Structure 1
Amino acid sequence: MNPIDLQRVKVHEADACLVLANKYCQDPDAEDAANIMRVISIKNYSDDIRVIIQLMQYHNKAYLLNIPSWDWKQGDDVICLAELKLGFIAQSCLAPGFSTMMANLFAMRSFKTSPDTQVWQNDYLQGTGCEMYTETLSPSFTGMSFPQASELCFTKLKLLLLAIEVKGCEGADNKISINPRGAKIVANTQGFFIAQSADEVKRAWFYCKACHDEIKDETLIKKCKCKNCDMNRHDDMHLAQRNHRNSSIPTANMVNSTKQVNKVKPNVNRTSTETVVSPGYNSRPTSRTSSGNNQNNNGVALPVGLADDQAKDFDFEKTEMKYDSTGMFHWSPAKNLEECILEPGSDDSSEWTRGSVLICRS
């Protein structure tokens, strides 16, 4: 990329730079190599710019680590299409329909209801038109628990609140907490919604209990003149600075986390066991007691995993974890296929396959 072009588009003033891949290319490796070179050019021009690159092949992610100014902590990130596809397949084994739901959220579609179409089809088409958005919750939500805020958004505002951004303690990075059952809403909390448009999500900011409590039609919830609505909004410049948050979230962060284009990349903190686990998430096996509570050997409550019985004979604390060059996936030495084949009726087959997910490719 020409430095003159980078200067002309004011890369040094941008919040982030997106490098998108051509998914219809004939040579995926050549496409990845060209995009990685573009990242190098961008970083040479402005080393502190946040770069999000889209790659076709997973093994090409390792080359990004050779770029001196590439820094995950500053928000640099990579989206691997092949990794996403395999991650969707794996998560669909845990939650059937997960890949379809995520694909519908990623794609932008418009729909039109028809009296000739069955009810379930109209509902499905309406769902395919939804996307993910962020918006600051109004002061009326302050003090509510997350379940209370979610119920209010769903019943009153006709919005689906999935997660909130939790501020870190003592200078720590902010975290995106999905379905935090015990969390309390504080002032200026950022919410993550599934909705048809950004205008719908604005109801979460405009909502005022004093002015809108008796309104039955959610479309009538607009900005009121109540002082409660203007609280914590200092000036119009502050509003302009947060306008980018109202846009649709990039497709990378729902799998990784729904991420926003800012300098600090929030970490995903899934505090609820009922939420879907991301492809890179390491869930530990747990042992299920007779009372239905899940505890480890120290008596600490743990989430229910797929392989709850594995904890009886497996100690994670004493196990050395090995990862690949990206640090995102587990690694193990190569084995011959013959060594991994389990014969029918083998005594070891039940132990080897306990809690496993098998993916077959032709």
Structure 2
Amino acid sequence: DFYVVLLSPCELDTTMKMILQVPTWAHRVIYIQGSALKDADLIRARVTEAEACFILAARNYADRSAADEHTILRSWAIRDFAPNVPQYVQIYRPENKIHVVFAEHVVCEDEFKYAMLANNCLCPGTSTLVTLLLHTSRGQEGQSSDESWHRLYGKCSGNEIYHIKLSDSRFFGEYEGKSFTYASFHSHR
């Protein structure tokens, strides 16, 4: 079993407090108000015992370069305090990746955004697919629209993806060993 420790200088908002009271999360997620720049707070968060440390870019900055600077400082502080803990760092600007080369993985939001746009040119709909996979929807968006495609898109945006072996599927098990084109054509007739 793993525990997730959230360390943030901000006080929890009401929504997050409610989420952390759900029994699924209540015993696995611990919130600590503090700063990654203070050793005392890193000790309370037991960073030296962590399997990994995820450092997310702050969303409340108007200036993305300033947000990256703050993220880099936090990453450096954690590296100095717990050098053996793998870091996964999110930044905005690609030119700032050089400052966190020691991190296991660096996700640059701007690079991701532009790569997504480029992939969308090569394969139209890629950005829509990724957006629908990353955002939760109840499938009710666009239902009051006059456009039929709005209603269909909104309805389908509420679909969910489940992990299951093809051979175990009651609906798609018969397509095992067939090409994707064959399976998609015959399953949606």
TM-score w.r.t. the length of structure 2 is 0.59
Matching residue's letter, 1:120: L
1:79 is the counterpart of 2:107: yes
Aligned residues: 135
Give a deviation string over 1:101-154, Cα, whole Å, max 9, x none. 111212233445998786624542213xx46x77xx7xxxxxxxxxxx436447
Q: Select which of 13, 22, 27 maps to 2:63.
A: 27
Retained in 1: the 8 A contact 2:92–2:110?
A: yes
CA contact (8 A) 1:43 1:49 kept: yes
Larger Rg: 1
The answer for the alignment partner of 1:150 in structure 2 is: 166
1:120 corresponds to 2:152: yes
In structure 2, relative to structure 1, the CA distance for the partners of 1:94 and 1:150 (3 Å cut) is farther
- Within a 5 Å distance, the mapping from 1:214-293 to structure 2 comes to none
Identity rate, percent: 24
User: Post-superposition shift, 1:24?
Assistant: 4.8
Kept in 2: contact 1:36–1:64 (CA 8 A): yes
* Residue 91 (structure 1) aligned to one of 102, 119, 123: 119
- Compare relative contact order (CA 8 Å, sep 6+) and give the higher one, 1 or 2: 1
Q: 1:151 to 1:122 in 2, by over 3 A?
A: farther
- 5+ residue gaps, structure 1: 138-148, 158-180, 182-273, 275-362
Equivalent-residue separation in structure 1 for 2:167 and 2:52 (angstroms) = 35
**Secondary structure of 1:34's match?**
helix
Residues 154 and 48 (structure 1), Cα distance of their counterparts in 2 relative to 1, 3 Å cut: farther
2:91/2:106 contact within 8 Å kept = yes
Give the aligned residue type for 1:103: T
- 2:26 paired residue number: none
Instruction: Write out per-residue CA displacement over residues 241-269 of structure 1, whole angstroms, 9 at most, x where no aligned residue.
Output: xxxxxxxxxxxxxxxxxxxxxxxxxxxxx
Q: Is the 8 A contact 1:23 1:56 kept in 2?
A: no
- Work out the CA distance in 2 between the residues paired with 1:8 and 1:46: 13
Q: Distance in 2 between matches of 1:34 and 1:106?
A: 26
Corresponding position of 2:32: none
| SS of equivalent residue, structure 2 residue 128 | helix
The reply to whether residue 56 of structure 1 matches residue 88 of structure 2 is no
Deviation of the 1:43 alpha carbon? 1.1
| Match of residue 9 from structure 1 | 45
Structure 2 counterpart of 1:109, which letter? S
Cα deviations by residue, 1:194-231 (Å, 9 ceiling, x for unpaired): xxxxxxxxxxxxxxxxxxxxxxxxxxxxxxxxxxxxxx
What is the alpha-carbon distance in structure 2 between the residues aligned to residue 15 and residue 109 of structure 1? 32
Once the 2 structures are TM-superposed, how far is the Cα of residue 38 of structure 1 from its aligned partner? 0.5
Give 1:48 deviation, angstroms.
1.4
The structure that is helix-richer by fraction is 2
Q: CA deviation at 1:12?
A: 2.0
Q: Which amino acid aligns with 2:41?
A: D
**C-alpha distance in structure 2 between counterparts of 1:95 and 1:19, whole Å:** 31
5+ long unaligned stretches in structure 2: 1-36, 182-189
Closer, same or farther in 2 for the Cα pair 1:116/1:15, shift >3 Å? same
Match of 2:17 in 1: none
Which residue is 2:136 aligned to? 108
TM-score (norm 1): 0.33
1:157-172 paired onto structure 2 within 5 Å: none
The RMSD of aligned alpha carbons is 3.2
Instruction: State the distance in 1 between where 2:59 and 2:123 align.
Output: 27
1:136-187 deviation digits (Å, cap 9, x = unpaired): x7xxxxxxxxxxx436447269xxxxxxxxxxxxxxxxxxxxxxx8xxxxxx
Deviations 1:255-305 (A, max 9, x none): xxxxxxxxxxxxxxxxxxx9xxxxxxxxxxxxxxxxxxxxxxxxxxxxxxx
- Structure 1 pair 59–116 and aligned structure 2 pair: CA distance change class (3 A): closer
